[in-house]
Amino acid sequence: MKQRTLGTNLTVSEIGLGCMSLTGAYGTTAQTPRAEAIALIRKAVELGVTFFDTAEVYGPFANEDIVGEALEPVRDQVKIATKFGFAFEENGVPGGGVCSRPESIRRAVDHSLRRLRTDHIDLYYQHRVDTSVPIEDVAGTVKELIEAGKVLNFGLSEAVAGTIRRAHAVQPVTAVQSEYSMWWRERENDTIPVLAELGIGLVPYSPLGKGFLTGAINASTTFEASDMRARTPRFQGDALAGNLRLVDTLNELSAEVGATPAQLALVWLLNQQPWIVPIPGTKRVERLAENMGAADVELSDDQLARLRQAADEVAIVGARYPEENDRMTNLEAPLPS
């Protein structure tokens, strides 16, 4: 698989693997059997993937442990990204919610290193902005971890432009992780211009719109009550019916070029900027192969133009999350006192 560079020096496969769903996602708690999860991650390595995304909160903790075991035999061949920033008793902060106190970050990194079976983390993200801690304190703490060799690169997740600038001034930010896809493009209005200016990479999560862009969802699709999509406005009623116009176009083009709708959605992302590395997730080996196969899809200039036109012309409606989930995104870190 071709390689891309995030920031100035983090070189990874142009498509990575988001591992969150292996230990439950979008409101479901169903976990992939451990042996199957490890086999899937190792299959991704065989397919050329060198970039794997996890977090302490996934599980919690179980996801890092699975990723660590799966990648231990090939640790020198891959890059691992994980995240800190939630309150856990093992990090000295019992209870729920976000927490990026410096002492909590210092504890969190050691626990993540242990679970990941490694002596360094290639990319360490603040998972969500902590509105009680200035981002300068967070960046300064990660800078100390980089100087100690425990972390190689600093990242932010779902941070707004001002927070990114302030963090970058203390410790250069290698990558920002945010939702970004054909069906959620608000990052183009704020984050992406700043990343281009500062030389920071973008790692889109949910690049397939939580399954919407795969073509597997239609107007009659229903979700289990525990599935967050059952409460997400974009998947409901008239909003879903209108949004499916984009999938209709993907289906038409996919038949012409011999690629799946999911692959075309990933091709669209890859062609937005050379420093974008999407991380689609899956529990199924066949979907894994399909997603990674997007790296081999070649479109003519005309076909790529039609793909971009489809994304530009279909106005996606409805919120991307239920309100309670969206409250933790797009927050500004407080200024230092």
Q: Which residues are catalytic?
A: 58
- Of 142, 111, 16, which is closest to residue 71 (Cα–Cα)? 16
- 3-state helix, strand and coil shares in percent for the chain, rounded to the nearest 5: 45, 15, 40
d(CA 281, CA 194): 26
Which are the contacts of 47, defined by CB distance < 8 A and separation ≥ 6? Answer: 1, 288, 289, 292
Which are the contacts of 290, defined by CB distance < 8 A and separation ≥ 6? Answer: 260, 262, 263
> Angle 289-291-297 (CA atoms, 0-180°, nearest 5)?
100
d(CA 124, CA 76): 17
Tell me the DSSP string of 247-281.
Answer: HHHHHHHHHHHT--HHHHHHHHHHTT-TTB----B
Q: How far is CA 248 from the centre of its chain?
A: 25
Instruction: Give yes or no for a contact between 66 and 22, defined as CB atoms under 8 angstroms apart.
Output: yes
d(CA 75, CA 69): 10
Instruction: Give yes or no for a contact between 93 and 101, defined as CB atoms under 8 angstroms apart.
Output: yes
Kindly provide the b/e burial profile for residues 18-51, where b requires at least 16 CB atoms within 10 angstroms of the residue's own CB.
Answer: bbbbbbbbbbeeebbeeeebbebbebbbebebbb
Q: Is the CA virtual torsion 3, 284, 52, 165 positive or negative?
A: positive
In Å, what is the CA distance from 180 to each residue of 43, 77, 159, 265, 336?
25, 27, 13, 11, 30
